[in-house]
Amino acid sequence: MTKLPQIKARPRAAQIFAVIITGIIAVSTVLTFGVIFVMLRLKIPTITAIVTSTTYMGIFTTIIGVGISAYTSTKMLSPILKINDAAKKVARGDFSVRLEEKSIAKEIEELATSFNIMVKELANTETLRSDFVGNVSHEFKTPLSAIEGYATLLQDERLTKEEQALYVSRILENTSRLSKLTHSILSLSQLENQEIVLQQEVYSLDEQIRRVLLGYEPLWEEKELNIDLALESTQIYGSKSLLAQVWSNLIDNAIKFSRKGGTLFVSCWEFDGKIVVRVRDSGVGMSEEVRLHAFDKFYQGERSHSGQGSGLGLALVRRIISLSGGTIELQSKEGKGTEVIVTLKGDLPTPA
Ligand SMILES: Nc1ncnc2c1ncn2[C@@H]1O[C@H](COP(=O)(O)OP(=O)(O)OP(=O)(O)O)[C@@H](O)[C@H]1O
Ligand SMILES: [Mg+2]
């Protein structure tokens, strides 16, 4: 979030105005006495000299005063009218408007700067929102059209039993993709709207990670991965179901982006009041670009695996870790592998 400048009431315009008025009064006084002096030297009677010179000076002062106030009010009013126009455009949804920030009054300058920052922020929010809606509909459309396509093919009565089985299994694959996607979107939106973790308990973290890993056995067996574990007995206080999603997503990624025969290393230990979990693979790794965007919603860097997910896994992981008061770090080298380091609070509640 960009920091808005603080608008302070600084009487710069008022000071300039006071100086101008004092100047006019001083000039008028000097000129009035000057004219009286000249008239007296020309032997014009004193009263006439005073009345004539005061009248001339009055006219002079009025003309100068009106001129200055007309100039100042146009100068001051025009940026305010521009701000008004710009605000109307923003209200109609046009976030491309920007105001000229230079002005004679500091207050108007600061107002214009704040206005520009506000419009920029609003434009970002709008982009995020429309990107999100666009991504969701795109992610739904792909499996839906696949399901429609295979269902149409299945209507052909001349299909062999094998073809039928193949199309049915494709329909089921896409259905489960849709169901995973719906589940991820719902969880993410729910997590984004909550600020605290509910249903926390003390449980064995190493046990939980072992169970999650076991659930992935068919996948790591298929890839013939070497599983290297260093799970120290660790008690944690947190949400069991949310943290299970974290380990699942990280282990799923580590297996998915591993090459056949690679190594998957998972460790957990407590150190200095903190719990550290590491998930490391020797897979394809990430480029700097992918590493920087990996936590973005719907971001998938590795296009060859894009059919196997929706790019919401790490966004969910990051939200859960931040809600749990922890941190997550990605270290990766393209072609060499990736390590994810999660740090969580190690303190347990004191028994009542
Ligand atoms: N262990 C990893 N090795 C290499 N790249 C990874 C790894 N983990 C994540 N990435 C990159 O980060 C991207 C985002 O990961 P994320 O888990 O959010 O999505 P996904 O795995 O593609 O889909 P989903 O998690 O929804 O199934 C991945 O598409 C991939 O490019
Ligand atoms: Mg993933």
Beta strands in the chain (DSSP E): 201-204, 226-231, 235-238, 263-271, 274-281, 327-333, 337-345
Nearest atom, ligand 1, residue 285 CA: 4
Higher pLDDT, 222 or 189: 222
Beta strands in 218-303 (DSSP E): 226-231, 235-238, 263-271, 274-281
- Among candidates 279, 278, 242, 276, which has minimal Cα distance to 346? 276
The CA–CA distances, whole Å, from 54 to 4, 32, 47 equal 52, 6, 11
Range in 53-62, 84-93, 239-248 the model is least confident about: 53-62
**pLDDT at position 306, please?**
62
Is residue 290 in contact with ligand 1, taking CB distance under 6 Å?
Answer: yes
Q: What is the 8-class DSSP label of residue 305?
A: G
For CA atoms 9, 12, 13, 14, give the dihedral sign.
positive
**pLDDT at position 320, please?**
96
Place of tokens 């939106």: 189
The CA–CA distances, whole Å, from 85 to 5, 55, 91, 108, 328 equal 22, 44, 10, 15, 45
Distance CA 45, CA 52 (A): 11
Place of tokens 């849709």: 178
- From 187, 188, 253, the mutation candidate for ligand 1 (largest count of ligand atoms within 8 A of CB) is 253
Is residue 245 in contact with ligand 1, taking CB distance under 6 Å?
Answer: no
Residue 8 — very low, low, confident or very high, per pLDDT cuts 50/70/90?
Answer: very low
With H, G, I as helix, E, B as strand and everything else as coil, classify residue 328: strand
Q: Are 258 and 225 in contact (CB under 8 A)?
A: yes
Is residue 258 in contact with ligand 1, taking CB distance under 6 Å?
Answer: no
* Element holding 161 (H helix, E strand): helix 161-192
| Average confidence score pLDDT of the chain | 86
Strand partners, 331: 339
Long-range contacts of 181-186, Cβ-Cβ distance < 8 Å, separation of 24 or more:
181/139, 181/140, 181/143, 181/310, 181/312, 184/310, 184/312, 184/313, 184/316, 185/136, 185/312
Q: What is the 8-class DSSP label of residue 199?
A: S
Place of tokens 């209507």: 155
Is residue 286 in contact with ligand 1, taking CB distance under 6 Å?
Answer: yes
Task: Name the closest-CA residue to atom 4, ligand 1.
Answer: 285
Q: What is the pTM of this model?
A: 0.69
- Among candidates 38, 39, 31, which has minimal Cα distance to 56? 31
Range in 134-143, 262-271, 317-326 the model is least confident about: 134-143
Task: Name the closest-CA residue to atom 29, ligand 1.
Answer: 300
pLDDT tens per residue across span 224-255: 999 999 999 999 999 999 999 999 999 999 99
The closest ligand to the CA of 340 turns out to be 1
- Residues, CB within 5 angstroms of ligand 2 (ion): 253, 313
Residue 269 — very low, low, confident or very high, per pLDDT cuts 50/70/90?
Answer: very high
